[in-house]
Amino acid sequence: MRLRDLFGDDVTMDAEAAAIAVNGIAMDSRAVRPGDLFFALAGTRTDGARFIDQAVASGAAALAGDHSPPQARGVPFVAVANARRALAIAAARFYPRQPATIAAVTGTSGKTSVAAFTRQIWQQLGANAASIGTIGVVSPKRNVYGSLTTPDPVALHRSIDELAGDGVTHLALEASSHGLDQFRLDGVRVGAAGFTNLSRDHMDYHPDVAHYLAAKLRLFTDLLASNGVAVIAADHDVSQAVIDAARARRLRLMTVGHRGDGAAEGIRLIEAAIDRFGQRLTVEHRGRSFSLRLPLVGEFQVENALVAAGLAIGTGSDAAQVFAALEQLEGAKGRLELVGERHGAPIFVDYAHKPDALAKALQALRPYVRRKLVVVFGAGGDRDAGKRPLMGEIATQEADAVIVTDDNPRSENPAAIRAAITAAAKGAREIGDRAEAIRTAVDELQAGDVLLVAGKGHETGQIVGDRILPFSDHDAVAAALTARVA
């Protein structure tokens, strides 16, 4: 591909530069190969311009950025107004294939479940569907574990192109606030956009909640196609701001939940009742009533399922078939997942690592408790420290027994993180070793108890310092149960 093809008419360049052949795109100088276009991005910790010499030495055919290097490097430099957005658009042009139907979902909690549920619904209705998000790439031909909710734009567009090449026609993907704020999803042809909820998260990145919300709103104000559909969970205080953003662009609008417009395109939740480890639902859509059993625990999973249903219906799927498909949904790995039991006491693993998510997970399990609700959790290092006491307070309010342990301490002192939590968690026990904490909680379970192990969910590693140590909450629970049998 020629250099001009990656930028179109957005920038000016001489004919010689425009004709340069580009073999790939890189944003990390260590990954540059001969013939690549290297984007020098300014970050919070360092400026990519510092690595231009390394990129050129590795064979970069051209450079791009929002400020020119102080001296010529022997290769063309393309100056752009917004380097991160230009990178995403260039990646989309270099990897041009995309599934015909793409739905993206944003919100503080629920993105992974909504993306997984939307993929499952499409698959049940016969579509070749895939999803991209926190648990990686999931498709009929490939399952690739990922560590970022929204991958960098080069990896994202490469994955989308590969999925389209595999014959995937329907794609559901998660849109994180980081990814939206950093323009990683620009160039993705989004035909449906979903919104779940907004609560405190990523305050180590966003200066305030208003900035956090503005990043989320980009999905609706900037990325969703003008003829696309906005599917918005309507039962939250912030929902109206998202609805207003969609209406300002005159987008098709589907509101879902108790306040959903069931008489029109939306989905109104009329009734929900617990049915063992599932829920009986009655919903209304276009004036018609539908009854179904959702095989998932928790009110928040009802919301996630209805947002997914809205995305499927909004992209052309038959409503009756979509609601029938909800009865076959499987929870995303590590999302309030039942992983075992002892003395009849169920054990759940959940990814909840923020205050609101922890509260929702504990509240979802409360109806199943006849004796004690037990929670094991911690908080990550090098992240929003303000949420630690909030999580400690929530744990002691919502659970009957609390064990505070390590999550991913990263570069911080694990004991200091635990202390920040326990300061607001009166009566909580502190067991730093996560495997020991889980083993202790499992050992003490009695009939009528419910145990929640929260914070890491699907993750298979624990970040300590600069190392990722093998660790899985699933494996730790299984080991504790096996030890008890032995």
For 327-336, write each residue's pLDDT tens digit: 999 998 898 9
Paired with 2 in beta bridges are 21
Please give the pLDDT value at position 10: 76
Least confident piece of the model among 115-124, 184-193, 327-336: 327-336
The fold of the 3-93 domain, in CATH, is 3.40.1390
pLDDT at 46 over 70: no
CB-based contacts of 460-466 (< 8 A; 24+ apart in sequence) = 460/145, 462/406, 462/407, 462/408, 462/434, 463/380, 463/381, 463/408, 463/409, 463/410, 464/408, 464/409, 464/410, 464/414, 465/409, 465/410, 465/411, 466/411
Query: How confident is residue 71, by pLDDT bands cut at 50, 70 and 90?
Result: low
Q: How much is the pTM?
A: 0.88
pLDDT at 456 over 80: yes
Query: How confident is residue 206, by pLDDT bands cut at 50, 70 and 90?
Result: low
Element (H, E) at 160: helix 153-165
pLDDT at 201 over 70: no
Return the higher-pLDDT residue of 276 and 401. Answer: 401
Compute the radius of gyration of the chain from its Cα atoms.
24
Please give the pLDDT value at position 415: 98
Query: How confident is residue 471, by pLDDT bands cut at 50, 70 and 90?
Result: very high
CATH of domain 97-328: 3.40.1190.10
Please give the pLDDT value at position 148: 56
Please give the pLDDT value at position 199: 79
Query: How confident is residue 44, by pLDDT bands cut at 50, 70 and 90?
Result: low
Give the DSSP letter string of 199-227.
Answer: -S--TTTSSSHHHHHHHHHHIIIIIEEEE
- Sorted by sequence, the CB contacts under 8 Å of residue 452 that are 6+ apart come out as 348, 349, 350, 361, 362, 365, 373, 374, 375, 376, 377, 399
Closest CA to 234 of 253, 208, 213: 253
Query: How confident is residue 49, by pLDDT bands cut at 50, 70 and 90?
Result: confident
CATH of domain 337-485: 3.90.190.20
With both helix axes pointing from N to C terminus, report the angle between 111-124 and 299-314 in degrees, rounded to the nearest 10: 50
pLDDT at 202 over 80: no
Query: How confident is residue 242, by pLDDT bands cut at 50, 70 and 90?
Result: very high
With beta carbons less than 8 A apart as the criterion, state whether 97 and 161 touch: yes
Q: What is the mean pLDDT of residues 296-316?
A: 96
With beta carbons less than 8 A apart as the criterion, state whether 363 and 399 touch: no
Least confident piece of the model among 150-159, 224-233, 422-431: 150-159
The percent of residues above 90 in pLDDT, for the chain, comes to: 85
Q: Residue 306, exposed/middle/buried by CB under 10 A (0-12, 13-18, 19+)? A: buried
Please give the pLDDT value at position 364: 94
pLDDT digits (tens, 9 = 90+) for 351-400: 999 999 999 999 999 999 999 999 999 999 999 999 999 999 999 999 99
Residue in the structure block whose two tokens are 């790995």: 333
Calpha distance 292→303 (Å, rounded):
14
Please give the pLDDT value at position 12: 86
Return the higher-pLDDT residue of 9 and 356. Answer: 356
Please give the pLDDT value at position 205: 64
Domain extents in the chain: 3-93, 97-328, 337-485
pLDDT at 156 over 60: yes
Q: What is the mean pLDDT of the chain?
A: 93
Please give the pLDDT value at position 39: 94
pLDDT at 484 over 70: no
Query: How confident is residue 271, by pLDDT bands cut at 50, 70 and 90?
Result: very high
